Amino acid sequence: MIDTHSHILPGVDDGARDYEQALQMLAIAVEDGVTTQVLTPHIQPGIYNNTLSSLSDQLIQFKQAVRDQEIDIELRLAAELRIGLEIMPMVQSNTVPWLGTWEGRRVFLMEFPHNQAPAGSINLIQWLLKHNAVPMIAHPERNKELQGDIRKLEPFLDAGCLVQVTAKSIVGGFGAEAHQIAVELLRAGKITLLATDCHNLAYRPPDLSTGYKAAAEIVGEQAAKALVDDNPRALLGMDSS
């Protein structure tokens, strides 16, 4: 499996606090069946002032620690960007930590605020799409406004956004509302990626296989595999297994 959303890179956001915790999380991911781990730290100006340059430097050091511990996993770097006008100059200067490429277009992981999809968001997204930047909306099933009316997600999907759902949502780990929407999106074939969005060892650990198995029970093995292997491989430009 390939996990495309995680906060394992240590000391850069609200994820792993140090190398010890980060390495333990990676070891758990390997044991869970993950062969490639995409590191997606938050970028949110004023709160998480990460940049492509700073994260790349952090990745070099972290990779060395992973080698020293002989943890057998491939690491990739991307980021989770909070929606905002700050994304526009990043796209123009090509300083977005891209998640990958989908159908010839660059893709980045984007999150809404926890409680809403801000007014005017569709205008920014349309600008991004015109500039060959496709938002992969992270965990929409956990957004309070979308939980109130999932139809509010439709304009973003119609515009061309992709969707990543948290594996734990498929098994009810984020509550009944998130579970209901996750399953609805799954059955409708609107999910591109299933990922852990892991943050720590306690209540947000790497647990991709749990969501994958639950998804397979709902939509079948082949469709579930696409979310954790086939689609991530295509997105990351990896050879088919």
* Interval 136-177: pLDDT, tens: 999 999 999 999 999 999 999 999 999 999 999 999 999 999
Taking each helix axis from N to C end, the angle separating 19-32 and 52-68, rounded to the nearest 10 degrees, works out to 70
Place of tokens 């999809």: 117
**Boundaries of every domain in the chain:** 2-236
Amino acid at 216: A
Fold of the domain spanning 2-236: TIM Barrel (3.20.20)
> CA–CA separation, 198 vs 185, rounded Å?
21
Confidence of residue 239 (pLDDT cuts 50, 70, 90): confident
Q: 193-221: per-residue pLDDT in tens? A: 999 999 999 999 999 999 999 999 999 99
Amino acid at 31: E
Give Cα 23 to chain centroid, integer Å. 19
> CA–CA separation, 88 vs 84, rounded Å?
8
Structure tokens at 48: 């998480």
Contacts (Cβ under 8 Å, ≥6 apart) of 142 = 114, 166, 169, 174, 178
